[in-house]
């Protein structure tokens, strides 16, 4: 589902919501663990959610940090987790719908940072 550009910022920050959406969507659609992967890692994870009926997408924040394009999002997530996580969750839900043509669990968040969120650090 595409949304019109709003040029909105999170209040009290310099975090542009559209940039967060674009960066995380790009990560979901393009991140691979190595050059031999034929399908993006998070695309596979979303398909696995669909097949298993699970509603938890574990995001490894080291992937955010190691993927050059999403490094800024990683730092924003560290600084403003309460604001960034809902944005990322909405993107994950949109991508789930786009990939599976299925709406998924209604009214439930699918994004989880699990153990990775407890181990944040900034470089």
CA 105 to CA 26: how far, in whole Å? 23
Q: Are 110 and 96 in contact (CB under 8 A)?
A: yes
Q: What is the pLDDT of residue 37?
A: 86
Helix (H) or strand (E) holding 5: none
Domain boundaries, the chain: 17-31+39-118
Fold of the domain spanning 17-31+39-118: mini-chromosome maintenance (MCM) complex, chain A, domain 1 (3.30.1640)
Per-residue pLDDT of the chain (123 residues; tens, 9 = 90+): 455 556 787 888 888 999 999 999 999 999 999 888 889 999 999 999 889 888 888 888 899 999 999 999 999 999 998 899 889 988 998 898 888 886 655 545 555 554 334 444 433
Q: What is the pLDDT of residue 5?
A: 59
DSSP letter at 55? -
DSSP letter at 39? S
């Amino acid at each position: 589902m595409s949304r019109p550009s709003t040029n909105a910022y999170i209040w009290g920050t310099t975090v542009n919501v559209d940039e967060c959406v674009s960066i995380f969507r790009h990560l979901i659609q393009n991140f691979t663990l190595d050059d031999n992967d034929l399908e993006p890692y998070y695309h596979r994870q979303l398909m696995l959610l669909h097949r298993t009926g699970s509603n938890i997408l574990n995001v490894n924040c080291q992937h955010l940090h190691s993927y050059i394009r999403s490094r800024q999002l990683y730092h924003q997530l560290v600084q403003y987790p309460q604001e960034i996580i809902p944005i990322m969750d909405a993107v994950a839900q949109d991508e789930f719908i786009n990939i599976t043509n299925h709406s998924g669990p209604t009214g439930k968040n699918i994004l989880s940072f699990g153990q990775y969120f407890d181990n944040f650090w900034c470089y």
